[in-house]
Amino acid sequence: MRLRGFEFSVREFAGSLGDFGTLLPFTVGYIVICGFNPTGLLLGIGLTNIFLAIIYRLPLPVQPQKIIGSVALAERWTRNTVLGAGFSVGLVWMLLSFSSRLSSLLNKVPKSVTKGIQLGLAFTLALAGTEMIHPDFLIAIPVIVMTFLLLRNKFLPASIFLIFLGFIYAVATGNLVLSQINVGFSFPELTLFSLYDMFYGFIYAGFAQLFLTLTNAVVATVALVHELFPDRKDVTAKSLIKNMGAMNITIPFIGGMPLCHGAGGLSAQYLFGARTGGAILIEGILEICLGLFFSPSLVNIFTAFPLFIVGVMLLMTSFELGRISLKIQGKKEIYVTVVTALLATVFNMGVGFIGGLILYIAIEKGVVQIR
């Protein structure tokens, strides 16, 4: 079934499951460690995906803000502190969305630097995926082979195979008991947070999150959209910044976690079949249904899902993102891309971005000679 800008097919459904690997760890962590209500958390993601699908009619999914999430889970923040951090970052993005100068500056970022950020993200996803696969390496190898074989299969797309296999594996190993899955309607609850939550969350994680979001969720994502969908020049840095501002100043009040765009999520959904807004519309509906009707069982379902399957999804996404990022020409561009990627992987995306820019300028000015 196809409507203008939307396709509803097995391929789009498979694509909607593509970024499951990046969503699952933070979703489980926020629920189990930080005390998030599963209903509000999934409603926040689902509603955001639906609005983005209607506005852009593209697979432009959202992901957890990784620095806020990593710090919050490591330090066992309360839910209100996490929400305060997300809201404060959202306010900053809303203010920046009114700056035409910022948008024009981001549009001038050298292509080799944006490719380097994409490649750095590919390395990071590959490392995370490998770590998840390692304990079950022997089981994961045939799964990886099957996933490669099914990537272009119209009847059993790779992502559907992986989700189905993970569910069967969880049941077969006894990690998931079907009697634990209960259906019942759950309401989201109004959540409020203090100025202290906002200040503390921003200082300890939100400020650093801005730089990662700027590089991966804005610069790299815009470049990837233009690479995959050359006719969609209307997707700009300014529009993505405005999106992230709007989503993060609204969904915290229903208990939604801090969200952003991301090249990894887009690459994952595209790899597994997403080509239209139908993919994230389907994803949004699934997330809302899970949140409203399966909230009491979600912790059991998510924690039982085998990590090696998540690792395979991340590994496949890293290959796709790496393949796209290596479409460069010339020794100078390759040099800048590789150095940017290495800095981003070893340190973080912000260091990679700044280091790549400095190197690019040094080469252009003749300070550094590439032969």
Domain extents in the chain:
2-364
Going by the DSSP 8-state scheme, the letter that residue 57 receives in this structure is: -
Q: What is the pLDDT of residue 81?
A: 96
Q: What is the pLDDT of residue 1?
A: 59
234: its two tokens: 């209307």
Q: Do the Cβ atoms of 319 and 112 come closer than 8 Å?
A: no
151: its two tokens: 């990537």
Q: What is the pLDDT of residue 330?
A: 78
Q: What is the pLDDT of residue 115?
A: 87
Q: What is the DSSP string of 10-52?
A: HHHHHHHTTTHHHHHHHHHHHHHTS---HHHHHHHHHHHHHHH
HSE-CB at 324 with a 13 A cutoff on CA atoms is 27
Which residue stretches of the chain have pLDDT < 50? Answer: none
197: its two tokens: 């939550």
3-state SS of 294-307 is: CHHHHHHHHHHCCH
Q: What is the pLDDT of residue 215?
A: 83
Residue 259 phi, psi (nearest 5) = -125, 160
Rounded to whole angstroms, the Cα distance separating 279 from 49 reads 9
Q: What is the pLDDT of residue 147?
A: 93
Q: What is the pLDDT of residue 331?
A: 81
Q: Do the Cβ atoms of 224 and 263 come closer than 8 Å?
A: yes
Q: What is the pLDDT of residue 288?
A: 96
Rounded to whole angstroms, the Cα distance separating 122 from 323 reads 9
